[in-house]
Each structure stands twice: as structure tokens, then as C-alpha cells.
Amino acid sequence: MNRFAGQPLERVEDGRLLCGQATFVDDVSLEGMVYLAVLRSPIAHGRIVRIDADGARSMAGVIAVYVGSDFDSLPRIPTRLAPLEGVERFLQPPIARGKVRFVGEAIAVVVAQSPELAEDALEKITVEFDALPAVVDWKSATAPSALLFEANGTNVAAQYSVAEGDITRAFRDASYRRRETLYCHRQTALPMETRGLVATWDAREATLRIWGSTKVLWFNRKVIAAALGLRADQVQMMATDIGGSFGVRGELYPEDLLVPYVSKQIGRPVKWIEDRREHLMTTNHSREITCDLEIACTPQGKLLGMRAYLFADMGAYTRTNGGIVPSRAAMFLVGPYRIPAVEFHVAVFHSNKTPVGTYRGPGRFEANFFRERLMDMAADDLGVDAADFRRMNLIKESELPYSPGKLVPFEQPPIYDTGDYPADLERVLAAIDYPQLVGINGQEIDGRRHGVGLCCFVEASGAGARENSRVILEADGRVSVHTGCCTVGQGLTTTLTQLAADELGVDLARVILHNASTENLEEGFGTFASRGAIKGGNAVIAGVQDFIDQLLRFCRSTGGGTANELQWRGGAVRSRDGSVLLDLADIAVQAAKRGKRIEGRGNYLGQGLTFSYGTHAAHVAVDARTGVVEVLDYYGSEDIGNAINPMVVHGQLIGAIVQGLGGVFLDHLVYDEDGQILTVTLADYLVPTATDFPVIRGRSYGDKRAATNPLGIKGAGEGGIVGVAGAIANAVAAALRPLNVRITSLPLSPMRVWQAIAEAGEAAPG
């Protein structure tokens, strides 16, 4: 009896956001609060010879100054995911001790009466360095000239290989092979709200309260509590509004230990708000992977084998995400295709750059680009149409469930459960008018060359442990719902409200969906990899079902009828004949009279990952004289199993496509050969603005429900971004094919496209 799920309802969280009444972390203000600022390394690699902070300590308005040695009791930051063997030797200390390993690494912190004074004091701290050569790429990482951790004797943290099928035979027997080295550049998610924290130590209650954390509150709480010598229940993570996450926010960063530690030391509330320069230097970077990829095919284009060597630049340290980015890149190289034999070799190395973590569609954006680009090169060599090449190799619905094999060392083999991959491709071909566009591939029209490109993908979600929920009857008859999944801007509040209201059979206004907070839920997990609706949604339903049981039990205990006679229907307790005996407000009054709290609890574990799938198609025009690419049309499609709020999931799709287009054309974190980051303002790190990509179309729909969870949801946050690089790179390559231009590397900034054209011109005979 769904009244709300499936409806494109306006969001319940919008009212306060539209009126400036939201509470983001920098809006939290506590009595006696002071401000923390961080002194950060100006060099990429070097020993700290001496720190002189006396000048800062003696300044008016400065409360305290701490350097690395003051934090000796704090441990290194542990991994939360993907514990590839070897990466544990490269964990990040919360503050540099003896050595700095990237520009932006914390060296000292100042606490002062105002943020301005705190920054003034940073300028009075002098640090003497003994600079070391910087590691900036695979080549310098494997040369012995500079070791990030001398004790480790290497900068290569981990290497592994996975294989399925007979790869030797596949390549030996294949009449056609193609091998290319492809590269995806370094980017970051850049949420509009930078990171920030407010921490306060309540000595009377011996409790630490922290605002500004999100994503995985319970994990972070456990680490913070252990680091500070507290029990987990002495640390409370308070809910705030969150200005975008996209994977980078909410991981346990150094400041998540430094700020609470300092607050406890000085016994006052401490606020730290990351500025945008710090954000670009210290919040997780992502995507930088080189892939040496080879495929083997029949002369008709049927895939026989795929072999890859992936080199992932993880930056200076292994952070909480462990090896998830490179291992997902390897896992998703197979994509939605039937490939009888695969062999992937993954090398994870460290460099003197900002550490790497997840960014929306981690590993997928990269892998889909690598695979789809090489497939188009192969199709071109073989004279097969790009759509036909995909039609031939896409896994058919009749072949599902399908497992591509054990491709991740720390996980069971994934299973593609449900879907109709070829049907999605056909829908997108029709939507973009592929037959017409393929006819103008490479042609010059109005002075620009046109091209159409495709990318098919599968996308996994629903990862991670059990999610919990708690459903409580409030005194006014409304129902509070708590889960461990955080609203970070993606509309999860509305989505979960819709599910809870349907399950209860009440209006939306009856349900108060609370953002995640450790105060309201003893144990939860979190929000990442588009898992909110899957794990949180199913957990909320379980919690509501238990809540209804508790309501009925309460009503029976108060003599409202015998066990068989009472039932919950249409948002009320009814007798067998259907007449309403008690509604929620009545029960709340009864419960209050008896001093009884009515509360349901639920949880949802699930069975492995969900696999959504989709297709992207792009039509571009390239000005070959300047390298400027215009996206004339873009269509993204994804079957997400079940769309709880079609408006919200459409918003996710369109927004993610534009973010992905930024990742193809604009977003680029640039370092010089000394490991100095050059892109630390928004004038240098470029993201899409409203005029860049005005034509974006697409559809997220629920067709083939996931077999792995009761709601059939497959996750909706990332399908919009994961196919963009593949589709656009293929479209640009198609447009420039008559010029024999090789497109194997991102970004496709005008200059890089122009350079690729110039190189083709030089390589051309005559």
C-alpha cells in the first residue's frame, strides 16, 4: 500500500535550507568557544629540524600552541576498508612527527580567541626543514632516491594479482589484441561546505561532544574514543546539516583527532573550520591511476580476454579507505561484459602528494574509462560499430545471475543479480539518436568535428555492515526515526521518510526522520557508496515493523482487546471489523499516562552488493584548432532497481553527470616536480559552472529489482558519474578519428586535446 514510495515528492529537508535556517558545522556556536588553526607543511618531503613556536605562544589572544610531540599519545589513523596487506605500514599520524610527507600536512596547531588571531599566530611559528627529494609518480616511487618511510624500505605499499579463466590461452588463441597505457588524473570531490569540527569536553559528564562528523559516525567514534582513552559512549557525534559529501567528507581525518584532543586539554569548546586552500591540500584526493590494459578478441569483436596492470598513486599515506580505490578499479574493469579470461595486477604506491580516498564512483569512473576507450579502439581496428561491439559482448539477462569471478582479494566474488543490460543500451541509443549521429562521426560541421561516444557500466552498492534503526513514538503522536545513515545533501531524509510513512500508513508529517547521531542510536554504520536507501531504507522498514508490534503489544496490555482482535492498518489500531480504536496520538497519550516508552528497533544486513547498470552516450563537437570540446547532447541511463523518489534520483543522476563532466574537462589537481600542489584556490581548481554543460538528459528508473534486498533498491548516487569519462573520451576520439588522434589520457582540457591533435599531426606521414 505505497502512498509515498515511488512518488516524486518535494523534499522535507528543503524548508530550512531555503530560509537560511539550517545548521551546518560552522553555524554551531558554543559558549566560550575558541578557534583552532593548523600550521601546514609548505614542502612536499623533508625532515623537521626545529620548530620555534614561542612567538605564537606569547601573542595576545592565543590560548595554546601544540606541535607534533605534544600529540605523542595519539595513534596513527587506522584503515576502515580494504585492508590490502602492506598498506598498514603507511598509515597517517594525526600530525607530522619528525618528517613531513606532503604539502599541507599538519605540523602545529594554534588555539586563539578568534579565527583571525589563530591565523596571525600561525605566521609567528617558524619551522626549519631539511628538504628531501619528492616522490611524484611511479617512476620516482620505485627509484631508491627517496623513501617516505625509511623503515619500510619501499614506497610500494601493496601488490596483488587476481585472475579468472585461462588468460594464457585466451591471448595465445586470439587473432586480435590491443594494448594501451591509459591514465586518469588526480581530482577531488570539492563539496561546497569545507570540512569542520566543533568539539567540547564536558568535564562534569565526562563526555566529549563533536559536531561536524558524518558518513561513518560509529567507526569514527570508536577510533576517537580509543585515541583519547575514553569509552565509546563517552564520545557523542552530534548531527548537523552537511554541505555535500561525494565520498570525501566524514572519513576520519587528522583533525578529527586533533580538535577533540585539544578541546579536552584546554577544557573549552574548540571550533576548526577548514578553509578552501586547506581543503584542496588535505581533504582526500582521488582517481589518479595509470592502467596498462590489453584485450584479446575474435576478428568479429567478441571479447576473449583482458589483462591489466594498474598503478595507483595513493599520495603520502594510506588513509581510512585503505586500498578500496585501486581494488575497485580492478574489479570494475570487467564491467557488464562477458569476458572469459581476465588477469589483473594491482600496484599501490605512495608519493609526496595529498593522500587518496574515495570520490563518488571510486575506481569505477577510472575503470570504465580505461575499458570503454580500449574497446572503441579495438572496434575501430576491427571495423565493428561501437554499439555492435557492445551488443556482442554485454551479458544477457538470461545469463544472470553472473559472477565475473573473485577479483578482489578481501571480498567474495561479486554476483550481478538482475538486469537487462542490452535493453538499457538500446534505450540510450534511441534516446540520443545514435544511428544518425554515427553517420556524422568525424565530420566537420560549422568548423567543428562531431563525434558520438558510448559507455556501458555496472555499478555496485549496498556495501558495508549492518545498519540499524530506532523508531520512537513521541508525546505528540509523531514518530521519530533514527538510522545510522547520514543525510549529506542527497535527499535521504525525504527518501527514508517516504518509506517509513508508507510502512506506518501515516502522512509524511507524522514522521520525523532524524539525521544520524550517536546520541540516538547506540550502534549504526553510515552512508557511502550509495548505500543509504538500501541499508538505511531496509533497516527503517524493519524498525517500523517492530514499532508496530510494540504498539499492538502496548494496546493489548492496556486491555484494548485480545491478541487476535487488534490490528494495525491505515495508521491506526483497529478492531477486527476495521473501525479505528486508537490512532497514534491516542496511543501517545495512553503511553504517557503509564510512563511507557514505545519504541521499535530494526536492522538490516543484506546479502552482498547490489548491481545497478546503465549506459551513457555523448555527442560532442571539437574545435580542432583550439581543442575546445562542446558537449552538444548527453544522455545517462541507469536501472536502480526501485526509485523511492524519482525526483531525488533524477537529481542525483543529472548532478553526478555534470560533476563527472567536470572530472573529464576541468577538475585537475596539479603538482610540480617538487611535489608542490599548484591548485589551491577555486581560481585554479576548476569545477563546472552553469554555462559549461547546459544540455544534460537522462533517466534513472526502477525496472529489474535487486534480488538481494526486500525493497529491490540498487543505489542511485553514483551511476551518473561512473560512465562520463568513457562516453566523452569515446566521443572526442570519434570526432577526431580522421586526424588519427589518440585519446588515452585525462583530462580532456582544451590544451590536452590540442596537444593530442598536434602529436597526431606530427606522427602523420608527410
Partner 1 sequence: MTDVAITLTVNRQQVTATVEPRLTLAGFLRRHLQLTGTHLGCEHGVCGACTIIVNGAAVRSCLMFAAQADGSEIITVEGLAAADGLSPLQRAFRKHHALQCGFCTPGILTTMHALLQEEPHASAERIREVLAGNICRCTGYLPIIEAVLEAAASYNND
Partner 2 sequence: MKPAPFEYSRPESLNEALSLLAGDEVRPIAGGQSLVPLLALRLVTPKRLVDLSRLIELRGIKVESDGIRIGALTRWCEILSDARLGEHHPLLREAVRHTAHYQIRNRGTVGGSCCHADPAAEMPAIAVTCAAEFEVMSLRGRRIIAAREFFRSVFTTALEPDELLISIRLPTWRPERRYGFQELARRQGDFALAGCALYWDEAGGCCRDPHVGVFGVAETAIRVPQIEAALEDRKITDEIIRSVARTIRDVTAPPTDLHATSAYRSAVLAVLLERALRASLHDPSHHD
Give me the residues that bind partner 1 (CB under 8 A), please: 10-11, 13-15, 17-24, 26-27, 29, 116, 189-194, 241-244, 246, 275-276, 488-491, 647-648, 650-651, 654-659, 681-683, 687-691, 693-694, 696
CB 68, CB 98: distance < 8 Å: yes
Q: Which stretch binds partner 2 (CB under 8 A): 118-126, 262-270, 305-313, 461-469?
A: 118-126
Report how far residue 668's alpha carbon sits from residue 745's, in angstroms, rounded to the nearest whole number: 12
Which of 49, 607, 625, 695 contacts partner 2 by CB under 8 A? 625
Report how far residue 565's alpha carbon sits from residue 158's, in angstroms, rounded to the nearest whole number: 63
- Residues of this chain, 627-666, that bind partner 2 according to CB under 8 A: 627-628, 666
Show the cell assigned to 65: 600552541
Report how far residue 390's alpha carbon sits from residue 427's, in angstroms, rounded to the nearest whole number: 14
Indicate the DSSP class of residue 95: S
Regarding 55 and contact with partner 2 (CB under 8 A), the answer is no
Burial degree of 7 (CB within 10 A; 0-12, 13-18, 19+)? middle
- Cα angle vertex 321, ends 326, 79, to 5°? 125
Least spacing, CB of residue 58 vs partner 2, in Å: 17
Show the cell assigned to 259: 580538535
Which of 10, 54, 85, 116 contacts partner 2 by CB under 8 A? 116
Bridge-partner residues for 313, per DSSP? 349
Which of 54, 128, 388, 684 contacts partner 2 by CB under 8 A? 684
CB 28, CB 270: distance < 8 Å: no
Contacted entry of partner 2, partner 1, none for residue 119, CB cut-off 5 to 8 Å set by kind: partner 2
Regarding 579 and contact with partner 2 (CB under 8 A), the answer is no
Contacted entry of partner 1, partner 2, none for residue 738, CB cut-off 5 to 8 Å set by kind: none
Show the cell assigned to 730: 569515446
Contacted entry of partner 2, partner 1, none for residue 241, CB cut-off 5 to 8 Å set by kind: partner 1
Indicate the DSSP class of residue 232: G
In order, the DSSP letters of 582-635 are EEHHHHHHHHHHTT---EEEEEE--SS-EEEEEEEEEEEEEETTTTEEEEEEEE
Contacted entry of partner 2, partner 1, none for residue 694, CB cut-off 5 to 8 Å set by kind: partner 1
Which of 26, 120, 420, 424 contacts partner 2 by CB under 8 A? 120
Report how far residue 37's alpha carbon sits from residue 639's, in angstroms, rounded to the nearest whole number: 45
- Side-chain-side CA neighbours of residue 536 (13 Å): 35
Report how far residue 490's alpha carbon sits from residue 66's, in angstroms, rounded to the nearest whole number: 37
Regarding 290 and contact with partner 2 (CB under 8 A), the answer is no
- Residues of this chain, 370-389, that bind partner 2 according to CB under 8 A: none
Contacted entry of partner 2, partner 1, none for residue 755, CB cut-off 5 to 8 Å set by kind: partner 2
> What does residue 49 show for φ and ψ, rounded to 5 degrees?
-85, -45
Least spacing, CB of residue 159 vs partner 1, in Å: 35
Site string for partner 2, 738-757 (x = CB under 8 A): -----------xxx--xx--
Regarding 172 and contact with partner 2 (CB under 8 A), the answer is no
Least spacing, CB of residue 282 vs partner 2, in Å: 14
Regarding 673 and contact with partner 2 (CB under 8 A), the answer is no
The length of the chain is 766
Which of 27, 70, 137, 275 contacts partner 2 by CB under 8 A? 275
Residue closer to partner 1 by CB (options 181, 689) is 689
Residue closer to partner 1 by CB (options 216, 588) is 216
Least spacing, CB of residue 345 vs partner 2, in Å: 34
- Does residue 607 come out as left (phi exceeding 0), alpha (psi in the -120 to 50 range) or beta? beta
Residue closer to partner 1 by CB (options 44, 680) is 680
Bridge-partner residues for 179, per DSSP? 294
User: Residues with Cβ < 8 Å from 139, sequence gap 6 or more?
Assistant: none
> In the sheet that 479-483 helps form, which strands lie side by side, from edge to edge?
511-514, 479-483, 467-473, 599-604
Regarding 411 and contact with partner 2 (CB under 8 A), the answer is no
Q: Which stretch binds partner 2 (CB under 8 A): 139-147, 591-599, 650-658, 676-684?
A: 676-684
Report how far residue 204's alpha carbon sits from residue 200's, in angstroms, rounded to the nearest whole number: 12
Regarding 695 and contact with partner 2 (CB under 8 A), the answer is no
Indicate the DSSP class of residue 73: T
Regarding 561 and contact with partner 2 (CB under 8 A), the answer is no
Contacted entry of partner 2, partner 1, none for residue 23, CB cut-off 5 to 8 Å set by kind: partner 1
Least spacing, CB of residue 233 vs partner 2, in Å: 37
> What does residue 511 show for φ and ψ, rounded to 5 degrees?
-105, 130
Contacted entry of partner 1, partner 2, none for residue 13, CB cut-off 5 to 8 Å set by kind: partner 1
Task: Kindly list the residues in this chain that would bind partner 2 in the complex (CB under 8 A).
Answer: 115-116, 119-120, 123, 275-277, 625-628, 666, 670, 678-679, 681, 683-684, 686, 688-689, 691-692, 749-751, 754-755, 758
